[in-house]
A and B are shown apart, each in its own frame.
Chain A
Amino acid sequence: DTGVSQDPRHKITKRGQNVTFRCDPISEHNRLYWYRQTLGQGPEFLTYFQNEAQLEKSRLLSDRFSAERPKGSFSTLEIQRTEQGDSAMYLCASRGLAIPDTQYFGPGTRLTVL
């Protein structure tokens, strides 16, 4: 069990550029979640997958955001035409179906939009 990993850890981009983040969940975890956290706030849920199916999307996930998990393993989160308001920590979590159904979080990707 190597834990949830995320890449890159930090990303600085200019407004209007597209960015893509990657999340590798704990192996054999079939559920994968994306959250966004801004300074001084708790994480906010964006979306989750069960295997390759995207089962829930928050209203926070605007049309500029898209997430995929094509083979039910790693996932990518893409933000198109970034805005300064997209600056945040993007957190990924995964869990299996066993009880307790704890979500395990990765270290996050810190995005700064200039």
Chain B
Amino acid sequence: KQEVTQIPAALSVPEGENLVLNCSFTDSAIYNLQWFRQDPGKGLTSLLLIQSSQREQTSGRLNASLDKSSGRSTLYIAASQPGDSATYLCAVRPSGGGADGLTFGKGTHLIIQP
């Protein structure tokens, strides 16, 4: 059974700092990995999707990397802003067998102090 772990569970940093969020998964048989953002009481917003054959994806100040063989992904946020405060979730999609539901970690709750 796939398990996804996110470290740290919570993080509070001053505005302007660069930061790294970590995600690990136990089964390397994945099709892709997605990073999402969730604001309190809201749905999820997709940030980046990395296919299993890719090593990284970038969007603006966000960069996500994937090391499938070691079961790890990182989300790098450059020059953090108060508006980045949210919960960040990573999720993996399984490969093969008709399974298509995402397995999520518990998230990293991020607070950017003005």
What 0/1 readout, one digit per residue, does chain B (85-104) give for beta carbons within 8 Å of chain A? Answer: 00001010100001111111
If A40-B106, A42-B105, A58-B101 touch, does A105 touch B51 (CB 8 Å cutoff)? no
- In the complex, chain B residues whose CB is within 8 Å of the CB of A11: none
Q: How large is the interface on A (under 10, 10 to 19, 20 to 34, 35 or more residues)?
A: 20 to 34
How many residues from B make CB contacts under 8 Å with A? 26
Judge if A41 is at the interface, Cβ distance under 8 Å.
Answer: yes
Judge if A72 is at the interface, Cβ distance under 8 Å.
Answer: no
Assess whether B43 is in contact with A45, with CB atoms less than 8 Å apart: no
Assess whether A43 is in contact with B46, with CB atoms less than 8 Å apart: no
Question: B74 CB to closest chain A CB, in angstroms?
Answer: 17
What 0/1 readout, one digit per residue, does chain A (75-114) give for beta carbons within 8 Å of chain B? Answer: 0000000000000000101000001111111111010000
If A58-B101, A100-B32 touch, does A42 touch B43 (CB 8 Å cutoff)? no
Given contacts A31-B100, A91-B44, A105-B44, 14 further A-B contacts (CB under 8 A): A42-B106, A43-B89, A45-B102, A91-B43, A100-B51, A101-B49, A102-B34, A102-B49, A103-B102, A104-B46, A105-B36, A105-B45, A107-B43, A110-B41
